[in-house]
């Protein structure tokens, strides 16, 4: 009998009626003869409420107690869905992360999964029982404390569980009916195209570059363990659901497009250091203090040295901008730059596609098209399957529309 893991996010389980709708989706798969495990998030808005309570109780809260509080949202959803399934005549029981031994490290609030036992879930299949698992949470074995995986962690829970129990696939149900070539809200009605299939690598790039459909870590886990993963809509008719988008290995895609999708992020800030001494160790002096503070640096551009001096530009998440500039200012003497400039009104626009590996001039065409629209490029980064440009935020939508049309992604 085939095994399936289904995951439902917060909007899909926002109230009891929606939980009943989720139960109908699950019953459809059970009636088709599949062993089913379901991973659920907290009801929409519940995690934010729990976080607010933690901050109200103690602004400098203990992180392990924070995890104990915020993990309760998923516990409520799991119990309610198990009840709804039982009401429909489907045997079901709820499981918390520690009960199926989702073991993690001790990084409370952003823990990473180290192993999953899953034997109890498989035993339940033998009794014809649906396992309803609280996502987003696990346990640190040494301390026996509840941990949480960070925002979006339920996606990671679901894919990791699918790998652990050797499920045939994992279906991630969201409020959209698949992965689109870009955010449909950016284009005129109907121009963004839903993809039938997308490679793991492409989805990983899209998720990391601003697409909000899936959490990055969940795509990493799916790619490492080769778990075919569908993105589907929980708001489809349970009796006649749409096909969604399959995220799979590259070899499962018969003919890859040159460019698959256009992603963008407005959550960017640019920092430029002028007249930096061009000598060994300077880059480390800039980026090590940022790394130690947990600040992720993305695009890095260094101009050609002239008379022993260079300019260095890099980007950080907008929320980290003030911290990053303060840290750089503190180590100014170690770095030896003349001045620091910055901008928060920037955006990153990226074109992604595994077909870029075998086609020359893809990025050059994009740069020319943007220039013809009057879009100035501040910085560029590339890899085998993507290129990203940093531009003024005001031109974000124009740049996305331009590239989307250029590479033939507009729906017919």
The CATH number of the domain holding residue 321 is 3.30.2130.10
pLDDT digits (tens, 9 = 90+) for 18-73: 999 999 999 999 999 999 999 999 999 999 999 999 999 998 899 999 999 999 99
Mean pLDDT of the chain: 92
Q: Which residues are CB-neighbours of 264 under 8 A, at least 6 positions away?
A: 182, 183, 186, 209, 210, 347, 348, 349, 350, 396, 399, 400
Distances (CA, A) of 376 to 150, 267, 316, 367, 373: 36, 18, 20, 9, 9
* 209 CA to centre of own chain: 9
- Hey, which residues does 274 pair with through a beta bridge? 339
88-144 confidence digits (pLDDT tens)? 999 999 999 999 999 999 999 989 999 999 999 999 999 999 999 999 999 999 999
Q: Based on the domain organization, do 268 and 209 belong to the same domain?
A: no
Q: Residue 412: pLDDT band by 50, 70, 90 thresholds?
A: low
Residue 179: give its domain's CATH number: 3.40.1160.10
Does a structural domain hold residue 412? no
Residue 188: pLDDT above 80? no
- Are 349 and 247 found together in one domain? no
Sign of CA dihedral 194, 200, 205, 210: positive
Domain span at 20: 3-251
- Could you tell me if residue 256 is inside a domain? no
**Same-domain check for residues 244 and 355:** no
180 is in an annotated binding site: yes
- Per-residue model confidence (pLDDT) at position 360: 84
Q: Are 76 and 46 in contact (CB under 8 A)?
A: yes
Give every CB contact of residue 386 below 8 A, 6+ residues apart in sequence: 205, 209, 350, 351, 352, 353, 356
Give the rounded percent of residues in the chain with a pLDDT score beyond 70: 99
pLDDT for residue 176 is more than 70: yes
Query: Does the annotation flag 7 for ligand binding?
Result: yes
Phi, psi dihedral angles at 225 (to 5 degrees): -100, 0
Cβ(223)–Cβ(204) below 8 Å: yes
Domain membership flag for residue 173: yes
| pLDDT value, residue 152 | 81
Asked which of 251, 274, 297 is the last residue of a domain, the reply is 251
Read off the pLDDT of residues 364-402 as tens digits, 9 standing for 90 and up.
999 999 999 999 999 999 988 999 999 999 999 999 999
| Number of structural domains found in the chain | 2
Q: Which residue has the tokens 């993990």?
A: 71
Residue 298 CA: distances (Å) to CA of 148, 178, 189:
26, 27, 32
Q: Which of 193, 219, 251 marks a domain boundary?
A: 251
Q: What's residue 333's pLDDT?
A: 87
Q: Is 185 annotated as a binding residue?
A: yes
Closest CA relative to residue 93, chosen from 116, 73, 120: 120
In a domain, 257, yes or no: no
The contacts of residue 319 (CB under 8 Å, 6+ apart) are 267
Looking at the structure, do residues 103 and 195 belong to the same domain, yes or no?
A: yes
Q: What average pLDDT does this structure show over 162-179? A: 94
DSSP string spanning 254-271?
Answer: SS--S--EEEEEEEEEEE
Same domain membership, residue 270 and residue 364? yes
Helix (H) or strand (E) holding 286: helix 282-292
The verdict on 180 and 132 lying in the same domain is: yes
Burial of 10 per CB tally in 10 Å (0-12, 13-18, 19+): buried
Whether residue 175 is annotated as binding a ligand: the answer is: yes
Q: Which of 251, 271, 286 is the endpoint of a domain?
A: 251
Q: Is 360 exposed, middle or buried (CB count within 10 Å of its CB: 0-12, 13-18, 19+)? A: exposed
Same domain assignment for residues 65 and 143: yes
The pLDDT, as a whole number, for residue 272 is: 95
> Is 97 labelled as part of a ligand binding site?
no
Does 275 lie in the same domain as 233? no
What is the β-pairing status of strands 130-134 and 92-95?
parallel
Does residue 207 sit in the same domain as residue 311?
no
Cα 30–32–34 angle (5° rounding)? 55
Taking each helix axis from N to C end, the angle separating 216-225 and 200-208, rounded to the nearest 10 degrees, works out to: 160
Q: Is 212 annotated as a binding-site member?
A: yes
- Say yes or no: 159 and 55 in one domain: yes
Pair 133, 82: CB distance under 8 Å = no
Of 78-87, 104-113, 151-160, 288-297, the range with the highest mean pLDDT is 78-87
Of the candidates 101, 116, 114, 110, the residue with the CA atom closest to the CA atom of residue 149 = 110
Indicate whether 208 belongs to any domain.
Answer: yes
Q: Where are the beta strands (DSSP E) in 239-392?
A: 245-248, 261-277, 297-302, 309-317, 339-352, 377-383, 386-392
Same domain, 15 and 164: yes
Statement to judge: residues 343 and 238 lie in one domain? no
What gap in Å lies between CA 156 and CA 138, rounded to an integer? 11
What is the average pLDDT across 214-234?
A: 93
Q: Is residue 184 part of a domain?
A: yes
By percentage, how much of the chain surpasses pLDDT 90? 77
Question: 74: annotated binding-site residue?
Answer: yes
Whether residue 411 lies inside any domain: the answer is no
């Amino acid at each position: 009998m085939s095994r399936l893991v289904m995951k439902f996010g917060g909007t899909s389980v926002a109230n009891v009626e929606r939980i009943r709708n989720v139960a109908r989706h699950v019953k459809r798969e059970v009636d088709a003869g599949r062993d089913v495990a379901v991973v659920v998030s907290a009801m929409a808005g519940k995690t934010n409420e729990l976080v607010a309570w933690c901050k109200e109780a103690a602004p400098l809260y203990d992180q392990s107690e924070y995890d104990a509080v915020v993990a309760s949202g998923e516990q409520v959803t799991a119990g309610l869905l198990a009840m709804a399934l039982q009401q429909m005549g489907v045997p079901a029981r709820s499981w918390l992360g520690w009960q199926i031994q989702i073991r993690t490290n001790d990084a409370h609030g952003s823990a990473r999964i180290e192993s999953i036992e899953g034997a109890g879930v498989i035993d339940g299949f033998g009794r014809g029982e649906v396992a309803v698992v609280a996502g987003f949470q696990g346990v640190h074995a040494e301390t026996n404390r509840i941990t949480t995986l960070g925002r979006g962690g339920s996606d990671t829970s679901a894919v990791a569980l699918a790998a652990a129990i050797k499920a045939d696939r994992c279906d991630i149900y969201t409020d959209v009916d698949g992965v689109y070539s870009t955010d449909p809200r950016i284009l005129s009605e109907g121009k963004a195209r839903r993809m039938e299939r997308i490679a793991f690598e492409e989805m990983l790039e899209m998720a990391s570059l601003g697409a909000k459909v899936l959490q990055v870590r969940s795509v990493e886990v799916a790619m490492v363990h080769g778990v075919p993963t569908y993105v589907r809509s929980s708001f489809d008719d349970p009796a006649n659901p749409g096909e969604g988008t399959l995220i799979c290995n590259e070899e499962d895609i018969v003919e890859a497009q040159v460019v698959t999708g256009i992603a963008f992020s407005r959550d960017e800030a640019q920092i430029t250091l002028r007249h930096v001494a061009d000598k060994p160790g300077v880059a480390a002096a800039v980026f090590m203090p940022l790394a130690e503070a947990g600040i992720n640096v993305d695009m890095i551009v260094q101009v050609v040295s002239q008379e022993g001096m260079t300019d260095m530009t890099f980007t950080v998440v907008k929320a980290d901008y003030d911290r990053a500039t303060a840290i750089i200012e503190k180590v100014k003497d170690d770095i030896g730059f003349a001045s620091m400039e910055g901008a928060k009104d920037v955006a990153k626009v990226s074109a992604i596609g595994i077909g870029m590996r075998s086609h020359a001039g893809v990025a050059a065409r994009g740069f020319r098209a943007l220039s013809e629209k009057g879009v100035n490029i501040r910085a560029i980064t590339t890899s085998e399957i993507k290129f990203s440009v940093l531009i003024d935020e005001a031109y974000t939508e124009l740049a996305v529309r331009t590239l989307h049309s250029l590479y033939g992604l507009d729906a017919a």
